[in-house]
Amino acid sequence: MNKTTPLILSLLLILLVSGCTQTGRIINESAELPNETGAMQVTPENETEQNISTAPTEPQNITQPEACPETCNDGNNCTYGYCSGDTGYECVHAIRICLDSVRPCPDGVNVSCKNMCINNSCTSCEPDCSEHPIPECTKQCGECEILDTERCECARITKCVHNDNCCPEGCNYTEDNDCEKPECNESWECGNWSECINGTQGRTCTDLNSCGTEELKPNEIQECELEEFNITITYIHYETPEWVEIRNFGNLAVDMTNWTLEDNATHPHVYHLPAFSLPQSAFLYIHTGYGTDNSTDLYWNYGWHIWNDAGDMATLKDNNGTIISTYSYDS
């Protein structure tokens, strides 16, 4: 081996250890290198540096949106979308939050339950108050107050009601007999008694002073005795225009439907009464001629004379053919 070989190897090792290399490149400073003959070769200081680093990679062209879309609606009502520069101008969707249902319980505690979005809408749960019942109420109310047991509160009485030991403001004795009785003298006036029906008859009485009290009010209903009807022919007007007068002397109405009235001819003229009721003490006039029936007048609608001027007799029969009344006259 040549004697200079160990020296060259030592120099190379020193150069490597001393940091003559830099990242990405190796700088060849002036150094002695052996030539083929073993002599040292000096490299000039202005020798071009040898670059061993790799050229930088060109950046990739990535297109970013500059505005949000017109809508972020994804067709699901259980989500909501939003977009901004913070989201890179892209829609972001989140689950919609439904409000809880809240209910005040009778004991004053508010209870709630969770609602959730199902099938595009929020549920509506009903809070449970079973563990919060109405507490026992021992509250005592004052005059003209009533206890509201549900709220355990006393409420003021405002309605006019008889016999509740309270006369609310604005009420009078007529509306509420708990109010002070006014100074008033009753003066009653009564109408006529009605006809006797089923053993009773009535009338209407009015206090002319409108006292609102009824301490002196007369009876408006009384019992009555039913008498047999008394229907009587009282007069025949045989001159033109002809008519027959009939009166009910009884104290009850009489149904005269299908009764008949006839004269005393060999072949009698017979008039059949229509559906008709004659009130008590009332008159009925049956006319020979034409007309329209009403509550007091009936028309035979016969075109000639019936009652003879020289004398005649009228006979009234009920619907069974029983003679009820007759009336005769002479010329």
Mean pLDDT for the stretch of residues 176-181: 87
Token digits of residue 153: 């509160």
Quick check: is 239 in a domain?
Answer: yes
Residue 54 makes CB contacts below 8 A (sequence gap 6+) with none
| C-alpha radius of gyration, the chain, whole number | 63
Could you read off the pLDDT of 16-58 as tens digits, one per residue? 545 444 433 333 444 444 444 444 444 444 444 444 444 455 5
Mean residue pLDDT of the chain comes to 82
pTM of the complete model: 0.36
Q: DSSP E strands: which ranges in 242-299?
A: 243-248, 254-255, 260-262, 270-272, 277-278, 283-287, 297-299
pLDDT classification of 278: cutoffs 50, 70, 90 = very high
pLDDT digits (tens, 9 = 90+) for 183-223: 888 899 999 988 777 778 899 999 998 887 888 999 999 98
Q: In terms of C-beta density within 10 A (0-12 exposed, 13-18 middle, 19 or more buried), how is residue 164 classed?
A: middle
The CATH number given to whatever domain includes residue 308 is: 2.60.40.1260
**Tell me, what's the pLDDT at 242?**
96
Q: What is the model's pLDDT at position 76?
A: 83
10 Å Cβ neighbour count for 236?
20
DSSP for 160-201 reads --TTSS---TT--TTT-TTSPPP-----EEE-PPPPPBTTEE
* Residue bearing tokens 């009015």: 206
Average pLDDT over residues 71-86: 86
Name the phi and psi angles at 98, rounded to 5: -95, 140
* Any domain includes 140: no
Please report whether residue 18 resides in a domain: yes
> Is residue 58 in some structural domain?
no
- Who wins on pLDDT, 298 or 196? 298
Q: Is 248 helix (H, G, I), strand (E, B) or coil?
A: strand
Percentage of the chain surpassing pLDDT 90?
43
Supply the pLDDT for residue 271.
97
Q: How many domains does the chain have?
A: 2
Burial class (CB in 10 A: 0-12, 13-18, 19+), 294: exposed
* pLDDT for 135 beyond 90: no
The domain in which residue 235 lies consists of: 231-330
Residue 221 lies in a domain: no
Say what the pLDDT of residue 37 is: 43
- Would residue 103 count as lying in a domain? no
In a domain, 40, yes or no: yes
pLDDT band at 3 (very low <50, low <70, confident <90, very high): low
